[in-house]
Amino acid sequence: MATDFFVHEKGLCETENVGPRTRIWAFAHVLPGARIGADCNICDGVFIENDVQVGDRVTIKCGVQLWDGVRLGDDVFVGPNATFTNDHFPRSRQYQEKVLQTVVESEASIGANATILPGLRVGRAAMVGAGAVVTHDVPHHAIVVGNPARIVGYTFPSEVRTGSAQEFRPEDIEAQGGPRDLGVGKAQVWPLPHFKDLRGAIVPVEFLKDLPFEPKRQFFVFGVPDNKVRGEHAHKECHQFLVALHGSLNLVLTDGERSAEIRLNRPDIGVYMPPMIWGIQYNFSVDTVLGVYASHPYDSAEYIREFDEFRRLTRKGS
């Protein structure tokens, strides 16, 4: 039977659910129930089980096995010998009634020899580093490395990578005439009043004078483990002003088109986040106390917690 996809003479493809222009190479084996999209490249020695769905333009490098329950979105890259699992407690000749589903969303990349535990979701455009062991869901655009995997950066359109965080001093911002634009919407870094003498230092803040809005609420974030992430949301109407009162953390901002990362590590510098800016805080030191001023009282309906919804509302991003 004529097909519009290619199977190497030493490859075995038992499914007819393969999209056009897909290539299946030598010693690859695809079982009858699998569904493979268009323009995929299935390299030598790949095994794909029945309950597997692969999107369009996916690359699966040599030595990968996709077991029942794996779902790969469009434009996913899976590196050599990456390992997917679907059973938390495997035993010989003991079978699960229902396998856990593992989802790798569109444009994500899985590095060589990475291991993905069952039932997890790797978010859109995320990147799992080579050899990483993924034990929890990976957020959209996150870069994770290590065992267990932890976030070290983000792959937003203007990529935020390890070591890319900007640091600011009040005197540098003041020398430029005031708050400094970060190039992400109307987000800015602000110097705060600060005075220091032999007795120590003080940062006095008058809300109507020293902040870009009048706060209606203040809260503090502390005790965050250094491998955890806070934020991961935007606000529809609420303005925020973030200050590291003690310790340090990294703040990532994106408007869906441009991104920036700032290292907050002193109480005389703050970052102004207007509405419709997606914010993430990570890489907390163990002693961090993050202070946040907010222009509105708390309202759960005012949050945007799904990045796909944020992208839709801003009509930006790929």
Which one from 194, 233, 246, 296 is the annotated catalytic residue? 233
Give CATH for domain 161-317: 2.60.120.10
Q: pLDDT at position 317, please?
A: 45
Known catalytic residue at 246: no
Domain boundaries, the chain: 1-155, 161-317
Please state which of the four CATH numbers 2.160.10.10, 3.40.50.1220, 1.10.540.10, 3.40.50.1820 is assigned to the domain occupying 1-155: 2.160.10.10
Mean pLDDT of the region 131-142 = 95
Is 153 within 8 Å of 122 (Cβ atoms)? no
Q: Measured between alpha carbons, how far is 139 from 307 in angstroms, rounded to an integer?
A: 9
Give residue-wise pLDDT tens across range 206-255: 998 999 999 999 999 999 988 889 999 999 999 999 999 999 999 999 99
Q: pLDDT at position 161, please?
A: 55
Average pLDDT over all residues of the chain: 93
Give residue-wise pLDDT tens across range 249-299: 999 999 988 899 999 999 999 999 999 999 999 999 999 999 999 999 999
Q: pLDDT at position 318, please?
A: 44
Share of the chain above pLDDT 90, in %: 82
Q: pLDDT at position 160, please?
A: 52
Q: Which residues contact 124 (CB under 8 A, 6 or more apart)?
A: 73, 105, 106, 107, 108, 140, 141, 307, 308
Give residue-wise pLDDT tens across range 160-214: 555 578 899 888 888 777 899 999 999 999 999 999 999 999 999 999 899 999 9
Q: Measured between alpha carbons, how far is 90 from 313 in angstroms, rounded to an integer?
A: 43
Give residue-wise pLDDT tens across range 74-123: 999 999 999 999 999 999 999 888 899 999 999 999 999 999 999 999 99
Residue 2 has pLDDT above 70, yes or no: no
Q: pLDDT at position 173, please?
A: 85
Work out the number of other CB atoms within 10 angstroms of the CB of residue 309.
Answer: 11
DSSP track, 238-303: --EEEEEEES-EEEEEE-SS-EEEEEE--TTEEEEE-TT-EEEEE---TT-EEEEEESS---GGGE
Supply the pTM of this predicted model: 0.85
Q: Measured between alpha carbons, how far is 316 from 277 in angstroms, rounded to an integer?
A: 12
